[in-house]
Structure 1
Amino acid sequence: MHQSHPSIDRPQARPSHSARRPQQRRGLQRGGRVVATCLTAALLLTVGGMSAPGFAKASADEAAAAPYAAVMEKAYDPAEPGAAAIVTRGGEVVYRAARGMADMEHEVALEPDMIFRLGSITKQFTGVAIRLLELEGQLSLDDPLTKFLPDFPQTDEPVTVEQLLAHTSGIKSYTGIPGYMDQEIRRDLTVDELIDVFDDEPIDFAPGERHLYNNSGYVLLGAIIEKVTGKSYAEFLQERIFTPLGMAHTHYDDPEQIVDDRVEGYEKEGDEWRNAPFLSMTQPYAAGSLMSSVDDLARWNRALHGGELMKPEQAKALWTSFTTDDGEEVGYGYGFAIGELRGREMIQHGGGIHGFRTYALYLPQDDVYVAVLANNTDNAKSPSRVAQQLAAIAVGDPFPERKAIELPEETLRRYVGVYRIGEDDTRTVTFADGKLHTQRSGGQRFEILPESETRFFYENTFSYLDFVLGEDGEVSHMLFHPDGAEEAERADLTDEEVQTRTKIEISAEQAAAYAGTYKMQPGFEMTIRVDGNRVFSQLPGQPEVELFAEATDAFFLEVVDAQVTFGREDGAVSTVTIHQGGREMPGEKVE
């Protein structure tokens, strides 16, 4: 249940068995197997007007659809897990499509009206539910959490309902507890049991001090809704939102319920697609347990901005940025994030849960809404990127299609150096194997591709940077445009030397000494695996990465700016320390 923040973006329980049956109405039965209709294209679309139940049908206009279809075709392979998408302008559908597979095992193609897990887009519904109760006088956003949950441990400064909504409470997010997402997320829990998971955890900061994306806050909001109304969270949403708005394809996810057109979720390991791992859907709760279709989400957005649930001026508070105690705007309201797209105000939220990634945005200036729901977690198929591309087309300001060119090595090498962003932050440009890479302090290394002699871009993103030359023709600074933003971040080239690390060979016997499990924090362990003379490390919930020796007991990573050192006691390896971004995390060898 994610945003572009940490979240329940990982959890996703296996869909019900109903999703795994051959769906004969969707295809042709041949030899006992389903061959999905339109499998050759696996792209079903509508252009012109709303075609889902409750919307006026219109004939497809292939010419108008072509730019949108091109984005979907580039992002999603028809033979792999894919996505459904909808684009509306002024309340009318201008594009509606699905591409890819809903069920790999039964060869069922995706269709636009199918139902996906939403992940953190659920938070929009929780935020609106709280706002409805506030407008009815059943609660105040200034009410302390303990008014409704008196047994929740109190902090020096009381946590308010509004701080829970805006992710500024400081309460520990249970999905960020080390090791929790590996096994504990699989357990069925009541709401009280779920709250017990994190209620005794130390707070991350004083309430209102700063913004940190937090699933625990939305669990607590769900509990408040139940306390105030005397109904379950699911019942309240059904009665007050889903039924009145005709959202027949939106449900609180119950894996045991038979749900027509529920799609399967998938994750990729190397080049292989696998069924998404299980999690109990009792745990995402009010932070991420809803499922829906793109049609229902379009209805939802229209109702929010059309005064069906509350007056437009009352709804505006939902997407007004919260301000921390020191006056910083956090870019988040009450279940809605606020940003910009192509210079326009953008209201948006993303989601992620095992096997699913989702994203929805609204551009009020143009009355354009886009939702993309994907049944895979492949970063190369990011629904946020696809949705933003579709929205940019809808407003007549599409993102440029960047193409890499070849540049001589001499030209590439002139950009190598350390570029200073601020006192404690740099972006380093390096050259290796004929390619340029950039790496921010403590961050991951990314390749940049040349679009011209001075402009480079990051593949599968909107971000790009320009190297600026001085009057003498030498590199002066770089201008980095995150997500294609007009406003750039400047970093000046310094005289600092690029720190290069030299790999050394170690023997298989030396490597074997590092193998084992290291306890970094309670419930959070790092595993060191050895293959011959190669050393690999893995932290919970992260991919395995190779460590490269640069000295005895000293290693570095290539994928991220981090180092790992080992300590010894009586000659035997006994400790490990991770060094990254100026921070250190020590651990002890336990086996």
Structure 2
Amino acid sequence: MRLTSRWVGMGAMAMMAALAAGAQSLPRAQQTAIDAVFQDFNTRTPGCVVGISEHGRQVFARGYGMASLESATPLTPASVLEIGSVSKQITAASIFLLQQEGKLSLDDPAQRYLPGMPVYAHPLTIRELLHHTSGVRDVIQLMQMSGIRTNDFATMPDALALIERQRALNFPPNTRYLYSNSGYVLLAEIVRRVSGEPLSTFAAQHIFQPLGMRHSQIVLDHRLVIPGRTRTYAPAPGSGWRLEVSPWQQIGDGGVNTTVGDLELWAANFWRPRVGGARLIQQLETQGVLNDGRTIAYAGGLEVDQYRGLQRIAHGGSWQGFRTQFTLFPKPQVAIITLCNVASADPALRSRKVADVILGDQLAPEPVPAATPTLSVAQLRAYAGWYWSAADYDLRQVSVDGAALRLRQWPGPSVRLQPLGQGKFRAAGDTLVFQPLARGMQLRLEATGELLTRQPAASGNAAGTHALVGRYQSPALQVSWTVAQDSKGLLLRAFGANPNRLDTDHSYPVRPAIAGVFIAGPYLLQFDGASLKVSAGRAEGIRFRRVTQ
């Protein structure tokens, strides 16, 4: 059912009053259908708060589950939750507002404002930090590799120092897209240096206060007492729940604490801009363009795509047990905000289900799945093997599982490939194309254009592995790791920054995958005699030098 438009040119105070009132103007049938989306939450579970607005006016707001299991406090539209990476659009807006004031340009070298950053072989700009095309290694990945756990105390200066120690990038700027929290930590520091105020103060004065977002703030100190803030949980092993708490104190990539009502005020600024004008909204929605001309989905702290025929502007967030989703549909001027305090919530999926309920007759029909081609086991085996891209540090394994193919991007989980015909398969929102070569096979990922070439599998008892034994140091991570050999083979011992703390010492069997590339737990390893290169997720090619054998 289509939502009824009731925007009548309210002034700012009237708009805030309408949102605060939490009026429920959706038809009862739609409210019941939305309740069903969250029916798994109750007085014994954490849960979610959902807020829906049309043309800047709240039409639905409701909490499901508990804000605190300890105190039996329910979640309500007034509950304050941390929104994780949904915060990135506030950081981006702060940069754009400084640009409007003439205090910076998006094409300025980032090092102009960040003197501690290395000067790389290729220029690095503010625009590339915004679009995740900078190549800067991800700070969360770097902290984990340094042995800093999420329940350790880590400050903003700690995060900046770790980023600044990276003498190399994942890739030359603007040649690839790879999500990196580091870019937004650096943008927060640029705001501080350019404006003379921390991001928390700048956003409060230039965004939150002008829009009447009275329950919103960027929180740097986790010890701060915030009225109405919820606890955060994850499923405990076996059954029940455990608290998820992190004392990390970095902002820019996250840090905003807010309510669904305040985020609806921010969403209303997209339809009737009061902060930053139409220019700010245009910049937030402008997608990045790579050097080769390809347009990426990521814009200014938001992603732009299509959902069942409607343009969608959205971003998700994940930190501690908080899981959040901010979704805008510009054509009907609808905002759906889902904030959850439990790690298993999947607010992106729930937000899509809510969109199906309230935008049903505006959405294109669900595509009818095409008939799936049937491939013989012999045909499937023709695609199996290891595929490698040295430029992207990307290792993937294609294997036959019964009557299907599975794809695993190491060190992640495997996914089932859906055959589409003519060497094409579908998996995880991307189309994969197998392309026979004169000698071998190539795998192309249509979403990014990345090419991986099939490689022969290494022997399980690859000769010469004893030469890899030794101790290796990383100046970038300030850690020492060792490769040892026992009766079962090679073993990687990854020590954290504090070698006296046993819980930062992890050991992983090392096994060869293809020539020169090894797998050890969450890491890909490449040895070249005097050094070791380690890649993990969003941090690629970190060099360790051998110090002993």
Task: State which drifts further: 136-145 or 49-58.
Answer: 49-58
Match of 1:42 in 2: none
- Aligned ranges for residues 32-431 of structure 1 at < 5 Å? 53-55=19-21, 57-58=23-24, 61-73=27-39, 76=41, 79-177=44-142, 179-180=145-146, 182-183=148-149, 186-189=152-155, 191-204=156-169, 205-253=171-219, 254-272=221-239, 273-281=241-249, 283=250, 285-378=251-344, 381-396=345-360, 397=363, 417-419=381-383, 428=398, 430-431=400-401
Task: State which drifts further: 163-172 or 146-155.
Answer: 146-155
Give the partner amino acid of 2:167. Answer: P
The C-alpha deviation readout for 1:93-128, integer Å capped at 9, x for no partner, is 444332222212223222232111111111100110
- Aligned ranges for residues 537-576 of structure 1 at < 5 Å? none
The C-alpha deviation readout for 1:436-484, integer Å capped at 9, x for no partner, is 6622464755576xxxxxxxxxxxxxxx83565xxxxxxx65542644x
Q: Distance in 1 between matches of 2:482 and 2:72?
A: 38
Call closer, same or farther: CA 1:243–1:393 in 2, change over 3 Å: same
Shift in Å, 1:587: 11
The C-alpha deviation readout for 1:480-535, integer Å capped at 9, x for no partner, is 2644x8xx5555899999x999x9xxxxxxxxxxxxx997965678999xxxx9x9
Is the 2:129–2:183 contact (alpha carbons within 8 Å) kept by the matching residues of 1?
yes
Call closer, same or farther: CA 1:96–1:422 in 2, change over 3 Å: farther
SS in 1 for 2:210: helix
SS in 1 for 2:192: helix
Q: Does 1:465 align with 2:413?
A: no
Give the partner amino acid of 1:88. Answer: S
Give the partner amino acid of 1:327. Answer: G
SS in 2 for 1:196: helix
SS in 2 for 1:123: helix
SS in 1 for 2:337: strand
Shift in Å, 1:206: 3.2
- Aligned ranges for residues 420-499 of structure 1 at < 5 Å? 428=398, 430-431=400-401, 438-440=406-408, 442=410, 444=412, 446=414, 465=418, 479-480=425-426, 482-483=428-429, 489=432
Give the partner amino acid of 2:426. Answer: F
Is the 2:308–2:366 contact (alpha carbons within 8 Å) kept by the matching residues of 1?
no
Call closer, same or farther: CA 1:437–1:419 in 2, change over 3 Å: closer
Call closer, same or farther: CA 1:323–1:52 in 2, change over 3 Å: same
Is the 1:419–1:427 contact (alpha carbons within 8 Å) kept by the matching residues of 2?
no
Shift in Å, 1:306: 1.5
Match of 1:33 in 2: none
Is the 2:305–2:313 contact (alpha carbons within 8 Å) kept by the matching residues of 1?
yes
SS in 2 for 1:177: helix
The alignment's C-alpha RMSD in Å is: 5.2
SS in 2 for 1:244: coil
Q: Distance in 1 between matches of 2:268 and 2:69?
A: 33
Call closer, same or farther: CA 1:66–1:58 in 2, change over 3 Å: closer
Q: Distance in 2 between matches of 1:108 and 1:538?
A: 44
Is the 1:52–1:113 contact (alpha carbons within 8 Å) kept by the matching residues of 2?
no
Shift in Å, 1:232: 2.2
The C-alpha deviation readout for 1:315-337, integer Å capped at 9, x for no partner, is 21222111223323232222222
Call closer, same or farther: CA 1:352–1:71 in 2, change over 3 Å: same
The C-alpha deviation readout for 1:221-263, integer Å capped at 9, x for no partner, is 2222222222222111111111111111211224333322211
Q: Distance in 2 between matches of 1:563 and 1:170?
A: 18
Give the partner amino acid of 2:142. Answer: I
Shift in Å, 1:135: 0.9
The C-alpha deviation readout for 1:154-182, integer Å capped at 9, x for no partner, is 33444322222222233333222162463
Call closer, same or farther: CA 1:240–1:271 in 2, change over 3 Å: same
Call closer, same or farther: CA 1:524–1:111 in 2, change over 3 Å: farther
Q: Distance in 2 between matches of 1:482 and 1:437?
A: 14
- Count of equivalent residues: 486
SS in 1 for 2:252: helix
Is the 1:153–1:199 contact (alpha carbons within 8 Å) kept by the matching residues of 2?
yes
Q: Distance in 2 between matches of 1:311 and 1:267?
A: 40
Q: Distance in 2 between matches of 1:112 and 1:369?
A: 15
Is the 1:86–1:372 contact (alpha carbons within 8 Å) kept by the matching residues of 2?
yes
Tell me the percent identity: 23
Match of 1:507 in 2: none
Give the partner amino acid of 2:229. Answer: R
Is the 1:389–1:398 contact (alpha carbons within 8 Å) kept by the matching residues of 2?
no
Call closer, same or farther: CA 1:92–1:192 in 2, change over 3 Å: same
Match of 1:21 in 2: none
Q: Distance in 2 between matches of 1:73 and 1:424?
A: 44
SS in 2 for 1:223: helix
5+ residue gaps, structure 2, are 7-14, 369-373, 390-395, 442-453, 461-469, 497-502, 513-517, 527-531
Q: Distance in 1 between matches of 2:93 and 2:351?
A: 23
Is the 2:24–2:60 contact (alpha carbons within 8 Å) kept by the matching residues of 1?
no
TM-score (norm 1): 0.65
5+ residue gaps, structure 1, are 1-45, 403-409, 449-463, 469-475, 504-516, 551-555, 566-575
Call closer, same or farther: CA 1:545–1:94 in 2, change over 3 Å: farther
Q: Distance in 1 between matches of 2:415 and 2:122?
A: 45
Call closer, same or farther: CA 1:445–1:589 in 2, change over 3 Å: farther
Q: Distance in 2 between matches of 1:578 and 1:175?
A: 16
Shift in Å, 1:63: 0.8
Shift in Å, 1:60: 6.2
Is the 1:87–1:369 contact (alpha carbons within 8 Å) kept by the matching residues of 2?
yes
Shift in Å, 1:131: 0.6
